Amino acid sequence: MGERAHSGRRPGVSGTRAAIEAAARRQFAELGYDRTSLRQVAIEAGVDPGLVTHYYGAKPQLFRTVVELPFEPAAMAAAVVPGDRAEVGLRLARFVLGVLEDETGRRRVVGLVRAAASEPEAARIIRDLVTSQIIVPIAEQLDVPDPAYRAGLVMSQIVGLTMARYVVGIEPLASRPAAGVAADLAGTLQRYLAGDLGAG
């Protein structure tokens, strides 16, 4: 997106890259990692397939370039961290449900979960992204023992909610109002983030 300002007048390298990346984003999201090919991305972007390889190398690098978190980590931190420590789990649960109930947010989260589930290569890229952009920042804010492990437990519940409620659609979890689900997840996230683990 940042390149747009430079590509106003004529298509150049940045316009070509923007077209390739838009096509890649769409295909990764709609077809999944496996079924997306550099060749089809090039066709949709209207460029020679060799150019895609020239700019990005192979599929993992292209995926790494266009993969997007469903939210700004800074926005999450601002929504979750300030305030009463006893309600940090509830704030995080509401933030997560807010992202997942929004169509764009849900599509991005589901896209990441699907890619991570289907391809070890994509899983590694997503693991690095989630670790550096979500796990480490959360862990840094928590004045508790074992913060990265706690952040991993939090991610496990969020990923599992995405699968059960939005991908597989297990009832009645799938049709329960979001506010109720957030309230029911809050205790779990509270314990993982700030509570006593183990003998729980």
**Residue 198 in contact with a copy of itself, rule: CB under 8 A:** yes
Provide the H-helix boundaries in 47-195.
49-56, 59-66, 73-80, 88-101, 103-118, 120-130, 136-141, 147-161, 178-194
Q: Which residues contact 164 (CB under 8 A, 6 or more apart)?
A: 170, 173, 174
Residue of 4, 35, 39, 54 that binds a copy of itself (CB under 8 A): 35
Q: What is the C-alpha separation between 91 and 85, in angstroms, rounded?
A: 10
Q: What is the C-alpha separation between 78 and 158, in angstroms, rounded?
A: 19
**Residue 131 in contact with a copy of itself, rule: CB under 8 A:** yes
**Residue 190 in contact with a copy of itself, rule: CB under 8 A:** yes
Nearer to a copy of itself, 2 or 200 (CB): 200
**Residue 197 in contact with a copy of itself, rule: CB under 8 A:** yes
Shortest Cβ distance from residue 190 to a copy of itself (Å)?
7
Nearer to a copy of itself, 62 or 113 (CB): 113
In the block, residue with structure tokens 């316009």: 15
Calculate helix-pair angle for 13-35, 38-45, nearest 10 degrees: 140
Residue of 142, 155, 178, 194 that binds a copy of itself (CB under 8 A): 155
Residues lying near a copy of itself in the complex (CB under 8 A): 32, 34-35, 89, 113-114, 116-118, 123, 126-127, 130-131, 135, 146, 148-149, 152-153, 155-161, 163-165, 167-174, 176, 180, 183-188, 190-192, 195, 197-200
